[in-house]
Every structure is written in C-alpha cells, then in structure tokens.
Amino acid sequence: MSSVAQSSTSPVADVALSRRFGSMWWIALLASGALVLLLGYTLISVALLGVGVWGVNIPFVWGFDLINYAWWIGIANGASLFAAILVLRRHDLRTSVNRFAEGVAFFAVICAGIFPIVHLGRPWLFYWTFPYPATFQVWPQFRSTLTWDFWAISTHVVVTSLLWYVGLIPDLATLRDRARRRTVKRIYGILALGWRGSVIHWAYHQRAYRLVAILVLPLILVMQSTVAFEFAVTLVPDWHETRQPLHFVATGLAQGLSIVLLVAMLLRWGLRLGRYIDEEDIDLLGRLVLASALVSGYLYLDEFISALLADGLTREATISRMTGSEAGLYWTAIVYSVVIPQLFWMKAARQSTVAGVFVGFSIGVGIWFDRFSIIVGGLQTDYLPSIERTYSPTLVETGLFLGTIGLFTALLLLFVRFLPVVSMFETRHDEHQEKSS
Amino acid sequence: MAQLFTPAATTAFRVAIVLLGVGIVAAGATAYVWARADSTWKVGKPAPQPVPFRHDLHSGSLKIDCRYCHSTVERAADAGMPSAQTCMSCHSQVWVGASVLDPVRTSFTLGQPLEWTSVHRLPDYAYFHHAAHVTKGVACETCHGRVDQMPRTVKAQTLSMGWCLDCHRDPVPKLRPREAVFTMGYEAHGGDLPDDIREFYREASRRLTSCNTCHR
Amino acid sequence: MSEDAPFDLDALAARLAAEDGPRLWRSLEELADRPELRRLMEAEFPDVFEASSVDRRTLLRLMSASLALGGLAACNGGDAGSHAPLLSQSRNMPGYTPGVPVTIATSLPLNGFGRGVLVKSQEGRPIKIEGNPLHPASLGATDVFAQAEILSLYDPDRSDTPLQDGSPRRWEELTRFIRPVRNELVVGEGRGLHILMAPTSSPTLHRLISYTRELFPHAQWHVFTPIDDDARRAAVLDGFGRDLDFVYDLTQADTIVTLGGDLFAEEPGHLRYAADYQKRRRMRDRELPRLFAIETRPSLVGARADERIVLRPRDVDAFVRGLAASLEAGVAPAPDVHPSVPRLAELLRRAGPRCLVVAGREMPSEVHALALAINTRLGAFGTTIRAIEPVRPIIDGAQTLHDLAKAIEADQVSHLLVLGGNPAYTAPADLDLPSLIRRVPHSLHLGQHRDETASVCRWHVPETHPLESWGDLRAFDGTVGLRQPATMPLKPALSAEEFLGLMAGQTVDGQGLVQATWREVWGEGFEARWARSLEDGVVDGSALPSIDIAWRSDWRPEPAAPVSSGGIDVVFAPDPSVWDGSYANNGWLQELPKPLTKQVWGNAALIAPETADIFGISSGDAIDLTVEGRVIRAPVWVMPGHAPAAVTLTLGYGRQQAGRIGNQIGFDAYAVRPSRRPWIATGEIKVAGQRIPLISTQHHHALQGRDIIRVVAPGQDTPQDSDDRPSLYPEWPYEEHAWGMAIDLDACIGCNACVIACQAENNIAVVGPEEVAKGREMHWLRVDRYHSGEPADPSTYFQPVPCMHCEKAPCEVVCPVNATVHSSEGLNDMVYNRCIGTRTCSNNCPYKVRRFNFLDYQGTDYTPSADAMNPQVTVRDRGVMEKCTYCVQRIGAARAGARVEDRRLRDGEVMTACQQACPTQAIVFGDVNDPDSAVSRLKKDRRSYALLGDLNTQPRTTYLARIEIPAEEG
C-alpha cells in the first residue's frame, strides 16, 4: 500500500485503534446502556405478564409494537437502499457515507426484529410461523402477510448484515495491519477473513459487494410492501388501500435518508471527519433528503385525494384520521416529515450541522407519528359503531420504544469506537483516481 | 514481525465453516428424529400403579372381555374404570388374602375411590370419545396395542397428533367389523369391512380432519 | 315435640361436623378411632390383623397407603389436566357414567318466587343451569340471575362456620348456645322472640312457620323485602277487599299498557310474559298487539314497546286518571290530560277484554287501583288477567320492618332471629336497623355470607345455597316446584327450612321436612307423585286456580293530590345485574353489561339529557343527591329517554361486606331510601364537581346512518343481498351439516340471558373493572344497544352479536399459523392450542367478535373454582385468541350420541347455550343444509338479512329485521 494512502486514512483507523476515546463517548454509551436495561425490563415484563401490559385492546390489538416495528424497518430499508445504490453507481458519496449507512441499516433491522416476536401473545411459539415438519403435521398459512413478514425480516437481517460486513473486510484488514497489540491484531485478523489485498481478493470482493447490493434493491420494495400489506389486506376501512405499499416504501426511504444524514452530521462533528465527509457530500445528501421529503409530501396529498374519491366508510375513516380525536398524530407527521425539510431549499441550511441534525431528526419523528397515525388513528372508524374505543399507550410500551432507541445508539457507539466509520479503501480508491486523472 | 496466523489458519477456518454447516444440518436431523422417538412419547414405559394389575392375566389368559371392566367404552367418551366392587366380585373368591389387593379392598370398604396413573392421558385441549371410535370399527388394539400381552400396562403408540391424523385422513384400512373390535391380534384385511362403514367414511375425511373434531 | 329437639341438635352437630369439607386426613383420624371400622378392617385384612394387635398407627398407615389420597381431591372434576388420575370408584353407581353429566330438575328463588331450572351436574358438581321447559315461569328459558347461581354456589366467600360476635365457633358450640335459649323460649311461649324473614312462597316454610308459632305463640313475625309490592297490595285490598296475586296472559292481549316497572324484567313472571308477548306477535292470523310503556326510567318493556310515553312519576297519576276518565270508569277527568290519552283510550276500548293495564311495583297504590279499575271496566279479568290466591301467603299477624324497629326501640325484643336476607343492608336508611339490631341481647342471623347483617347480629349461622338444600317454591302462578340439591353441600350449613325445623322441634333433615309437607297434602300415592315431581321439577296441577273477584262497586279513587312542583323525583329500582344487592359478589353479574346503559362494575344515577343540560353535567360527573335530609354522592349517567326532572337509582351497590368481588363497588342507594316512600321520593340535586369514572362496554350508541339494524313495517320485507357476488375466497362443499344461526331482532328484548348463558357454558373469564375499562372484556356474545331518534325519547334496538361464522371468513386467511380455520360443517374453528397471538384475525374481523387473553385471565381473583368450569370446553391460556364457537362442544356431544345410536342428528337436537336461555326464542340454531330445519326456514324469511352483507363475508349468523308499526297508523 502506498504511503500516501496510509497517511490519508490513518486518522480513521486511529480512531478505531486508539486506546482512549474521550469522556463524551463513555457518557453517551452509559446513557444508551441504561436505555438498553430499560428495554430488557420491558421485554421481561411482557414475557412474564403478557401483552396486556401495553395499552392494546379490542379493536386496537396493535400499539407501539407494530408502530415501532414499521418505523425501524423503514429506517433499515431506507438506509440500506441508499447505500446499495451508491455502491452500484460507484457514486463518490459512497466513500463517505456508505459504511455507516450500512451500519445504520443493520442496527435498525436488529431493533425492528425484536418486535414481531415480542408482540405475540405467546412469543415462545414464534417458530410456528416457520414451515418445518412438526409431529402435529400442521403447516403455516402461506396466504398470511405475517408469514411473508417472517421471511422478509429474516432475509433482511441476512442481507443488510452481509452488505455491511462485506464492505468492512478490506478495512478490517487495514486495522489488523495497523494495530499494535497482538490480541487486537488477531481479533481484526480473524474478522478480516485472511484478507491479503491481492488482486484476486479485490476482484472477488467487488463482485460480492455489488452482488449483495443488488440483492438489497428488490428487498426494500418487498419488505416495505409486506409491512404495508399487513394493514392493506385487512378489512379495516382506513387500511384497506392499494396505495399503502407505495406510502410505506416512499416514507421509508425518506426516513432512512434522514437518519443517515443525522448520523453523518453527528459523526462529522463528533469525530472531526470533515475531510472524509465534505461539504459536497453533505449538500448532496441534503438534496436527496429534500427530494424524498417532497415525495412523501406528494403521497400525503395522494392519500387525501384518494380518500375524497373513495366510497363512504373509507372516506369517513380517512377523514376522521385527519380531523378526529387522533388528528394530532397525522398533522405532526406532515409537519415534521414534509414541512420542516423544506428548509433544505437553502444551501446554507443543507450545509449547517445544526440544521442537518434538526431536519434529520424531525423526519424521523415525523414518520414515527405517521405510523402511529395509521395504526391507531386508522382504527378509529370501524364498521360497527358499537365497538369503537380508544387506545392510549402505557409506560411499558414507551419504555420498549426508548429501549430500542438505546439499543440502536449503543450499537452505533460501539461501531464508531471499534470499526472505521468511513470506508478507508474506498477513500484511497477515490484519491488514486483523482491522482491518476 | 511474526506472522499473526500459521499457514494452516485458512484451512482451519474453511473446515470450521464446513463443520458449522454440517452441525446445523445434524442438529435439525437429530431434532426430527427425537421428536418422533418412542422414548419421547413414553411409549412402552410403565407407570407406578397402586395395584400391580396384569392385563396379560385378566385379558390374555383369563380372556375377560375388555367391556367387563371398561364398561362404558361403547356409550361414553370415557372407557370407564372398573369399580372396586367389580374387582371384588371375583376377588372376594380368589386371592382373598393377597396383600397386593389391599388398596382395592380398602377402597371397597371405606368407599374411597382408587387412583390409577393414566399412561394414555391426552393433553386437556384434545377431546377423545371412546364410543365414537369403537362403534365405528376402531379396535382397542389399534391404539392400545396387544394389551393382552402386557404384564404392566404401557402406551403402544405415540398418540401424537400426527399419529391421530394418519388415521383420520384415511381410516378405512385401519378399521374392523364391529365383532372384531374387541379382539386382540386380529389380521385386518379390507375385504371383511361392512359397506355401511366404508360408506360412512367415504366422505368423512374432511370432517375427521376438521380441528373441532378433537379441539374445542 | 320440644323434647325431641335436643336429640336433633346432636344429630345436627354430628352431621355438620362430618360434612366439614373433604378433608381426608381428618376423616381418617376420626375413622381410625371408631371400633366398628376396626372390626370392618379386621374382616377385610385378616392377614394383617391375625398378627396379634394392630395399633392405631399401623391401621392409619394401612388405610392411607391403600387409599387414593388424591381421590377425594380429584372428585372436583374441574381440573382435567394432563395429570388427572384415572379413578376407580368404590361401588358401581347404576345410571352414572363417568364424564357424562347428570341433569337435575329443581327450582331457584327470586324475591320468594320460584323459577324452574334444570341443573347440569358433572361428577356431582353443578356446572350449568338451564330453564325447565315444564315450568310455567321458565318454559325452558332462564334469566341472568338463574344462570349466575352457579357462580354464587361456588362463591369462595360463602360463610362456612358459625360466628359468635364475629369470631368462628364450632357447630357444637352453636348447638350448646341454642339448646338452653330455645328451651327458655319454649317455656316463655316465645315472648320477646321476633323473627324477621323475606316473604316466601314455600309451602314447607309456611308449614314450619305455623308449627313454630304453635310452639312460640307469642313470637312476633316480621316480613320484609327491599323489592316489595306493598303499593299493589294496598290497592288490591282496597278494591277487592282481599289479598290477591295476578297472572297475566299476554297471548290474549291486543293492547297492553304498562305504567312504570318492567313487565319483562322485574315481575315474578317476567320470563313467561316476555315469551307470551312474542308468541302473540308471532300469531300470523292476528293483528300485531300494541304495547305502550308509560315510564320514567327506560326499561326493557319500554324498549320493546310500540310507543313510549315518558312521564315523571308525579305525572303518571294524572295520566291514568285521564285514561280512566275517558273510559268512563267513573272517574272525574283530570284538568289537563296528556295529548296521547285519547288515542290510547280509543285503542283500549277497541281491545275491550283483550286489553291489559299493568302498573309497576314502584307506582303509588292509586295508580295500581286505577289500573285495576280499568282492567275491570274493560272486562280484562278472565281474558288477560287471572286473580289467584296470593302466591306468597301473608303470615297472619306478621308485622313490617317498622314495627320491628319500634319494638326494638321499646326494648320489647329479647331474641331476634333473622332468617335469610340481609336487612341490615337493604333496610331503608332512616330506620337505622344495624344499630337497632345491635341493641337486641340475643340476635341470630342465618345467611349465606358474613354480610352486613351477620356483622351486627350476635350469632351468624351459615345458610345453604338453594342448589345445596331441599325445599319447595311456588311460581308466579302458584305452580309448585320442588327444590332438590344438585350437589353435596360444598360448605357445612343449614337451610332456612332446616333451621325452622330445628326451632319447631322437627327433624333437621331438609328432605324429610319437604316430604312431610307433601305427604300431608297428597296422602296415599305420595311416593309415586313425589318421584314424578322430582323428575319433572314441577308438581303438576299445582297452579293456583283463578278465583272470581268483584271490584268494589262503590270504589272511587281519592281526589287527585295536587302535583307538587318542587324538587325532582327520585325513583328506586332493582338493579338489572345485582337485583337488590344479593348478587353483588357474583363476578359474572358484575361484569354483565346492563341492558340499557351497558355499564359494568357499578351503578349510576340515571338522568335525562335535558336534566344534564340544565345542570351542565355529563356522564361520570358526580352529584350530591339529597333525599329527606340524607345525602349520597353518585355519578350520573345521561340516559336517553329518561324522564326530565327525575333521577333513577338502582339498588344493590356500595356494599361493604359482600365479599372479595362485591365490596365498595358503586354507591348505596339504600342510604337515601326513605322507609315511608321506598320507591318514589323527592330530592334535590347538587353538582359535586367531581368525576367518578364509569365503566361501560359500549361508548357509541348512534347508528350513524349505517345499515346495521333493519326495521320493517308489518308484512313488509327487507332488501335481500344478491348471493352471486364474486369472491377470491374458496368455495366450501358441505356433505352433511352446515351450521347456521338466525337472530330475530323483533323478538330480542335485550335481557342479557344469552350473554351470561354463553359465559357459563364456555368458561369465559371475568376480567374485572380495570380490564373492562381498557376495552378487554371477554364476552363471546355481546348485545349491542343502539338508539335512534330524539335523545329525549329515542327508539332503542338490541342486537346480539356472536361470531358470524362467515362462509368467506376474513380472519381465516390472515392467521400465519392456521389457528383459525374453516370446518367441514362451516364453523369457523378457533384452535386455542395452535394460536400464537398475533391478533391479526381480530384486525380483520369486521364484527370485532374476537376476544383476546391479553393477560392470564384464568388465574385472577375473579376466576371461579375449577369445579364451576365446563370440562367440555378448553380453558384458554394467556396470549390466545378466543371467540364464539357455536357451542361446538354441544354439536360434538350430540353428534357422538347420534353416531353411537347410528342415526342422523335431528333438527333442534343441538341447541347453543344462548339459544336455550333466550326467553323469546329470538335465537335459532341449526343445519342450513337441511331445507326444512327451523333455521333454514327463518333464513328464507323476507325479514332475513346479513349484518354488513355488502362486505360479502357471507355470515352464517343472520338477522331478522325488527317489525314496527309506522307511526301514522298509530
């Protein structure tokens, strides 16, 4: 490897290899660790007592469990799709954001994966959705969207983790070479799967990396649609809409991008990676976020219009979601995920760290409220007035949500601590090209 | 500087990967076999009983009809357990002094029921009706095996749901004419099955495989 | 006979001690000491005993080792767990097949009247109550209270030991107390002895009472029930000059006018009356009857009526006078008659003898008198009304509760005997009975619970539950039903009969006492008749004959009192769930949504929307209600159709010593009940500025213009849905049966019997107030209640909603694990043991009939004893979905029976629990594959329609539109 390259990416590697990492990191880790404990507590209480510890009832059989699931999976999908596209298009942005975009996707899917299992009345029997030759000779019901979801989520875990890990291999090798302590060397060494940077290695790596990236493309469509189908295929007046999958895909993308932006901004500021994540990258990212926000804006409009065109009860249901007792959720969603991002029309805003963090955060919040509005607000209107009820989340539910956020942050923190947050080999590759050209 | 890994490392790693794969498959196979093993279902495993009752004596050697003791098997869900009085109807004459019969006599004397351990008990969400089976040509032997050869009563079949379904899907081959229902060691050959029973089951398999046939 | 008494006391003590629960070890200990047992064992175990002397310990070890120790425990058939043992009974029991329930015919009391029931008893444990088709007050139907008696029987809070000043005593100690006291009283001929009991129809009780009176000539009897008919009695005595009861025949009535009360819920014959009214409506050859309800508080009869006339109680009098006047019943017309009086009078006149005017229990005696006058005037007697001897005869010389209070104040009461009931709680507050009873030197209370009365009496004696003891009861028409035990006593206790028998120096064996009564009556041929009567549950030909009576010709009503303008009318009413409070500790009833409010776990002060506006309050706001100087704080419930300037309080809540379930629920209306005007008082409302959360299972009651309840004019038909709509769901073939249900909204009176029958049959959990408030009640069958029209006087509709068992069931396709599937007979099976609890099926159920075990609802304080469970129905686990199964266990049992007998199922052979309980046969279940089955015929009816039919779920449960006579014809 050329000395230039060495020097150019050494700070990134040093981050991972340095012995001390500053008190901020520790504080953040402890905070998120506490939330992870909270997660543990809520999970245990659900396991011991049952989902009754949440605010769920008939007809609101789903609460935060599905809201959070839909939300996390959206982040995972958005981020992985974004990363995959960058890889396939060999776009410059990939050098700077790919690594943690993939990371974000992977950690989000882990958080999401918790919910389909804990939301069950009898979680210990979740494996019954998996087709295996049981002695009672009963098979899963393949027409059920929940069965599809089982496959979707498990595929998702595999693919996103692969995308992330395959991308990491060459840099793990670099860390192995640069590490001083032998044990550290060995650990990175094993993780690097004996990478020696030979041409054949690079060829295989590129093929594998792009192959996985291609797998991601259909995955997001399938995944988000499956989530959407869980609502769309039911008879619930407000859910029974062919437009649901589109809505989930688009808002999911916006959500993924926004979280990537959020993390990018924080890392750039926190680890002083301005050199690797430069203004151009940030600006481009900002434009993408704005674009995706506009798309979701369009879809909200579409929702409204199709509601007007729909027949009696469907219209009533959607309108009551927008204007009824739960209208707050709906409008919060719109303000946070569509209106606020409009700041990014201004270049200054796109490049300001504060604005970036703010917008990234607000879209995340917005989409969360969107899921809340669909799952809870959407159930307000049912066929028989006699069964109309209200839903209010409990502390345990909220704890579960905060817990997953803690888990996500903790994983992210460990990631930035022990692994290169910016793809070093990609950066080197870039700079080579710049020199050669 | 010294090498991190020996040249063998790569091979070792590859082997590890292969082994992992093999291990997963093996685990699956083991689980599959274990779930179907007789031992898992306690087949052939006797249970402690208050009285060392011997079916091989009563049913086998003495040729006492099943229905003499299990008297409600043809009209109720429960086959019915003989009362102490039923036992005493013979044992007031034979084995009068035998201490193994103390529980029976005490039960008879004090009017307290006698508690046996069931070896065939189904889970309580499964509802089985003896009469419905017996009256339609399902023999005792089909589920309980050669009771007439059992010194200690044991399970002869797994009684797993799959095992029930195997018959419920297509009962006819396993059925017998009414008169052969209580005989042991009968050779079933479809020919001697009365038409009414064939007729009855021709259309029945959908109903017999409906969940509510056994679960309520 | 007084000298027999001591002997009987010992017998009693012995019996009760022996009965003292299934405690094997103790009974062994006792047995071991008995020489006769020792002899027995020696005979049985010569080999053991010949070895010289066998000491007690050897004997015990021998017995215990050889005995089925779990045997007795395992007799509580409920726990049929995987480890349930196989039991060999000691003796052959002819006629008893293990696992096959036995049916016992008996009678259950309500307010002293009997309702005939059939008790299904499994391994000697009652698990379900059905109506007795042979009994005139039931005709096979049941009310909610009869259904719920199962739970009351197994109530863990039932008292099981005598108490002296609150501390437990052995039965021997009780007898040691009673013997001298009794002798002393016998000597003193009962001076100072006062006996308080509720009015009863039991011939045996009355026989024993007369014996007791012979023994204690100077003893004073007092009769009291909070649900009294004193006003009606006063009117009857005034008009007919003698005491009478009335039996109505609604099959004959063309025009019925009810003045308050609730003919379909609160009269002794309510089940029969509801059934007869529907029978009359179904008579094709006759024009529909007209039912008018003049009422303050909405009632079931009002909801069913063709027209409700909402009046404040104080205005009813004027209304009836107007009516009577315009029928020239010799009454001066009131100055301003109600606008609808003339029309009503016209209809009554047209109906002539086929009219019926019934005044409710709470009405003043003038109203009762006027009603009777109108009936007499139009010749209704003999057609729609029969007069019979009073079913609950008056104990001659019996006094009221007031007299008792006075006597105690005058220190004339040395001994007070409270036979059943809970007067310390149910007595009007102004009598302050509790502190009065405390003043009595010797007081004894016989009751099922350690309740408010038990705590103020010196002694408390456990009373048996009606299902445990012998007795007899007359129905509303006098028909006698024998009360026989459906189980061994679960707790050592005495019945009122046995206790009186004790006092009267008769035997303490309840059966003997009842038999003695009827041996006197029947003479020879007793044995045969006794056996037949026990089997039938009714004594045939025992209905009281009509008697000719003449309305006093010179009768004139007192001149109408000027209608006071001040204050608001406070109406007291028995509660549809807990009656007078005696059912307060019954979880099924507490969680049973009240028919009209759908409120559970509590009561409320019902007020009109208009009143609510005036005070600016809404449901859940607390008011301070002042009646004659007494104040209670109560949450209001804004009740559409309630009369303005009036408030209705239901009795029976706010109990302090009901038990673990019934304590501190709701508010106690007795606390403001004036003893002089126990039913309608005048009071003042003050807004308390506090909110008291009310729990209800239905929050929206407007139809919102949706096609849910259909109403047709007589002879009209409802638009039929086309059957040939395309569907992506598979078609199902049905070789044999295809089960279906038809629910006639014209017949449903919303009485809730089906709901609680379903709960009893299917082991449905009681989840408690907190869970219901969260919207998690478990009832498989709910009765939706809708209002339409003006809130001041809306029409009310009831719609029972079980699982629809859709042909194209949306729930089936979304379950990931195939836990809810279509059966070969069209049932929508729910397989609990396969369910993993994703709850998607509920999301996809447009009828929302699915219920989910959000928590472990079968392991709570509300969970009844395992003995009360139906062993034929799986008890559902936490995290599992459940719903109506069309009583698949009954289908299965019937099919198995048919298989064994090698025949096809007959139509009507399978009855669902809800169908069987329904007094008006509103629910019909059967095979829709059989074109001639009752259900098929109903589904072909022109009134038949599917709920949400346009969703093309093709529900198996369909409805028949309600029939209403358009207003203009009225």
Q: How distant is the Cα of B43 from the closest Cα of chain A, in angstroms?
A: 15
Domain, as residue range, for C601: 568-696
Mean pLDDT of C895-922: 91
State percent of chain B over pLDDT 70: 96
Length of chain A, please? 437
Band (pLDDT 50/70/90 cuts) for residue C502 is confident
Domains contained in chain A, number: 1
Say yes or no: C934 and C878 in one domain.
yes
C37, C54, C90, best to mutate vs chain B, most B CBs in 10 Å:
C90
CA distance B184 to chain A (A): 28
Provide the pLDDT confidence category of residue C408 given band limits of 50, 70 and 90: very high
Query: C581 with C653: CB under 8 angstroms?
Result: yes
Closest partner residue to B162 (CB to CB) among A137, A185, A194 is: A137
Residue C336: pLDDT band with limits 50, 70, 90: confident
- Within a domain: A257: yes
Relative to beta strand C621-627, strand C739-744 is unpaired
Share of chain C above pLDDT 90, in %: 75
Per-residue confidence (pLDDT) for residue A278, from 0 to 100? 80
- Does the pLDDT at position C968 exceed 70? no
Choose from C728, C848, C849, C947 for mutation: most chain A CBs within 10 A.
C848
If asked whether residues C186 and C136 sit together in one domain, one would say no
Q: Within this chain, do residues C264 and C340 fall inside the same structural domain, yes or no? A: yes
Report the alpha-carbon distance of residue C338 to residue C347 in Å, rounded: 15
The mean per-residue pLDDT over the stretch B155-179 comes to 90
Most C CBs within 10 Å, among A144, A145, A244, to test the C interface: A144
Asked whether the predicted pLDDT for residue A161 surpasses 80, the reply is: yes
Report d(CA C664, CA C654) in Å as an integer.
5
Residue C131 falls inside a structural domain: yes
Return the closest-CA partner of residue C138 out of C115, C119, C110, C120: C115
Task: Please give the single-letter amino acid code of residue C908.
Answer: G
Q: Which domain holds residue A260?
A: 56-392
Is A136 in contact with B162 (Cβ distance < 8 A)? yes
Alpha-carbon distance C957 to nearest alpha carbon in chain A (angstroms)? 16
More confident: C701 or C530: C530
Q: What is the pLDDT of residue C464?
A: 95
Same domain, C219 and C364: no
The pLDDT of residue A24: 84
pLDDT of residue B188: 65
Indicate which CATH number applies to the domain containing C484. 3.40.50.740
C725-752 tens-digit pLDDT: 788 888 888 888 999 999 999 999 999 9
Number of Cβ pairs < 8 A linking chain B and chain C: 189
Residue C238 lies in a domain: no
Q: Which of C489, C530, C535, C492 is nearest to C512 (CA)?
A: C530
Q: Which residue has the higher pLDDT, A151 or A425?
A: A151
Which residue of A120, A143, A233 is in closest CB contact with C838? Answer: A120
Number of compact structural domains in chain B: 1
Instruction: Please tell me which residue of chain A has the smallest CA distance to B29.
Output: A133
* Per-residue pLDDT tens over the stretch C106-163: 999 999 999 999 999 988 899 999 999 999 999 999 999 999 999 999 999 999 999 9
Does residue C655 form part of some domain? yes
How many whole angstroms separate alpha carbon C258 and alpha carbon C273? Answer: 12
- Distance (Å) from the alpha carbon of B14 to chain C's nearest alpha carbon: 38
Q: Is C51 on the interface with B (CB under 8 A)?
A: no
Distance from CA of A226 to the nearest CA of B (A): 29
Residue A6 predicted with pLDDT over 70: no
C60: contact with B, CB 8 A cutoff: no
The two beta strands, C245-248 and C385-388, are antiparallel
pLDDT tens-digit series, residues A396-415:
999 999 999 999 999 999 98
Joined together, the tokens standing for residue C674 give 């004036």
Cβ atoms A41, A398 nearer than 8 A: no
CB-based contact A99:A107 (threshold 8 Å): no
Lowest mean pLDDT among C28-32, C103-107, C280-284, C931-935: C28-32
Q: Coil, strand or helix: which one is C116?
A: strand
Q: Which helix (H) or strand (E) holds C607?
A: strand C605-607
Report pLDDT digits (tens) over B193-215: 777 777 777 767 788 899 999 99
Domain presence at residue B19: yes
Alpha carbon distance C49, C45 (integer Å): 6
* Structural domain contains residue A25: no
Average pLDDT for C839-864: 94
Q: Hey, what amino acid is at C878?
A: R
Instruction: Enumerate the H helices of C432-547 as residue ranges.
Output: 433-439, 452-456, 496-503, 510-522, 526-536
Q: So what's the pLDDT on residue C615? A: 95
> Does residue C599 sit in the same domain as residue C632?
yes
Tell me the nearest-neighbour CA distance from C304 into chain A, angstroms.
20
> Residue C482: which region, alpha, beta or left (left: phi > 0; alpha: psi -120 to 50)?
beta
pLDDT at A120: 94
Q: Are A382 and A330 in contact (CB under 8 A)?
A: no
Look at residue B196 in the predicted model and tell me its pLDDT: 72
- Domain region containing B16: 7-36
pLDDT of C21 reads 38
Q: Which of A136, A176, A189 sits opposite B161 (nearest CB)?
A: A136
The gap from C-alpha C75 to its chain's centroid, in whole angstroms, comes to 28
A268/C164: higher pLDDT: C164
Taking alpha carbons only, the member of C223, C262, C263, C260 closest to residue C363 is C260
**Residue B111: its pLDDT value, please?**
82
**C-beta atoms of A137 and B161 within 8 A:** yes
Average pLDDT over residues C290-303: 96
Is the pLDDT assigned to residue C165 strictly greater than 70?
yes
Cα C862 to Cα C159, C467, C591, C846: the distances in Å are 18, 21, 10, 30
Where does the pLDDT of residue C332 fall: very low under 50, low under 70, confident under 90, or very high at 90 and above?
low
What residues of chain A lie within 8 A of the CB of B36, using their CB? 135
Residue C82 sits at φ, ψ, to 5 deg, of -65, -20
Subunits with 3+ Cβ pairs within 8 Å of B are: A, C
Q: How far is Cα C509 from Cα C470, in angstroms, rounded to an integer?
A: 9
pTM value is 0.91
Tell me the residues of B at the A interface, defined by beta carbons under 8 Å apart: 4-5, 9-10, 13, 32, 35-36, 158, 160-162, 165
Q: Is residue A423 included in any domain, yes or no? A: no
Cβ contact, residue pair B13, A193, below 8 Å? yes
Chain B residues touching residue A138 (CB < 8 angstroms):
161
Structure confidence by residue, pLDDT tens digits, A11-64: 666 666 666 677 888 999 999 999 999 999 999 999 999 999 999 999 999 999
C256 near C356, Cβ under 8 Å? yes
Asked if the structure places residue A37 within a domain, the reply is no
CB burial of residue C167 (10 Å; 0-12, 13-18, 19+): exposed
pLDDT of B121 over the 60 cut? yes
Domain assignment present for residue B51? The answer is no
CATH number at residue C297: 3.40.228.10
pLDDT at residue C54 tops 60: no
Query: Least CB-CB distance to C68: which of B85, B113, B207?
Result: B113
CB contact under 8 A, B162 and A135: yes
Distance CA C235, CA A392 (A): 56
Q: Is pLDDT above 50 for C879?
A: yes
Does the pLDDT at position C872 exceed 80? yes
In-domain check, residue B32: yes
Sign of CA dihedral C746, C751, C752, C753: negative
Does A397 fall in a domain?
A: no
Question: Which residues in chain C have Cβ-Cβ distances shorter than 8 Å to B111?
Answer: 90-91
Question: Contact, C792 vs C610, CB < 8 A?
Answer: yes
Confidence grade of residue C82 (pLDDT, cut at 50, 70, 90) = very low
Chain B interface, best mutation among A125, A135, A138, A191, by max B CB count within 10 A: A135
Residue B14 lies in a domain: yes
Closest to C44 in 3D by CA, of B49, B88, B112, B113: B88
Is pLDDT larger for residue B187 or for residue C305?
A: C305
For the stretch C616-674, pLDDT in tens is 999 999 999 999 999 999 999 999 999 999 999 999 999 999 999 999 999 999 999 99
pLDDT confidence band for B176 (50 / 70 / 90): confident
For residue A375, the distance in angstroms to the closest alpha carbon of chain C comes to 11
pLDDT of residue A196: 86
Within-domain flag for C70 = no
| Mean pLDDT, all residues of chain C | 88
Number of domains in chain C: 5
CB-based contact B160 A185, cutoff 8 Å: no
In terms of pLDDT, which residue wins out, A180 or C423? C423
pLDDT tens across A343-354, in order? 999 999 998 999
| Residues of chain C found within 8 Å of residue A234, distances taken between Cβ atoms | 810, 814, 840, 843-844
pLDDT higher than threshold 80 for residue C779:
yes
Closest C-alpha among A9, A49, A212, B163 to residue C853: A49
Closest in C704, C817, C852 to A128, CB measured = C817
CATH number for the domain harbouring residue A179: 1.20.1630.10
A194–B36 CB contact, under 8 Å: no
Residue B173 within a domain: no
Q: For residue C71, what pLDDT band results from cuts at 50, 70 and 90?
A: very low
The answer as to whether C558 is a domain residue is no
Question: Is residue B31 in a domain?
Answer: yes
Residues C530 and C650 in one domain: no
Query: Which tens digit of pLDDT belongs to each residue from A205-250?
Result: 999 999 999 998 888 888 889 999 999 999 999 999 888 999 999 9
Distance CA A93, CA A96 (A): 6
Average pLDDT, chain A: 88
CB atoms within 10 A of CB C286: 12
Is residue C15 included in any domain, yes or no? no
Three-state secondary structure readout of chain B: CCCCCCCHHHHHHHHHHHHHHHHHHHHHHHHHHHHHCCHHHCECCCCCCCCCCCHHHHHHHCCCCHHHHCCCCCCCCCCCCCCHHHHHHHHCCCCCCCHHHHHHHHHHHHCCCEEECCCCCCCCCCCCCHHHHHCCCCCHHHHHCCHHHCCCCCECCCCCHHHHHHHHHCCHHHCCCHHHCCCCCCCCCHHHCCHHHHHHHHCCHHHHCCHHHCCC
* pLDDT(C58) > 60: no
How distant is the alpha carbon of residue C662 from its chain centre? Answer: 16
Residues of C with Cβ-Cβ distance to A385 under 8 angstroms: 700-704, 706, 708, 786
pLDDT at A5: 41
**Rounded to whole angstroms, how far apart are CA atoms C596 and C297?**
10
What's the rounded mean pLDDT across residues A273-289?
A: 84
User: In which element (H, E) is residue C858 found?
Assistant: none
pLDDT of residue C259: 95
C contact chains, 3+ CB pairs < 8 A = A, B
Q: What is the mean pLDDT of residues C947-964?
A: 93
Higher pLDDT, A329 or C558: A329
Chain A residues with a Cβ under 8 Å from any Cβ in chain B:
133-138, 176, 182, 185-186, 189-190, 193-194
On the question of pLDDT at C272 being above 60, the answer is yes
Please report whether residue B166 resides in a domain.
no
Q: Nearest Cβ partner of A138 from C701, C818, C837?
A: C818
* Same domain (yes/no): C271, C142: no
> Which residue type sits at A344?
F
Within-domain flag for B198: no
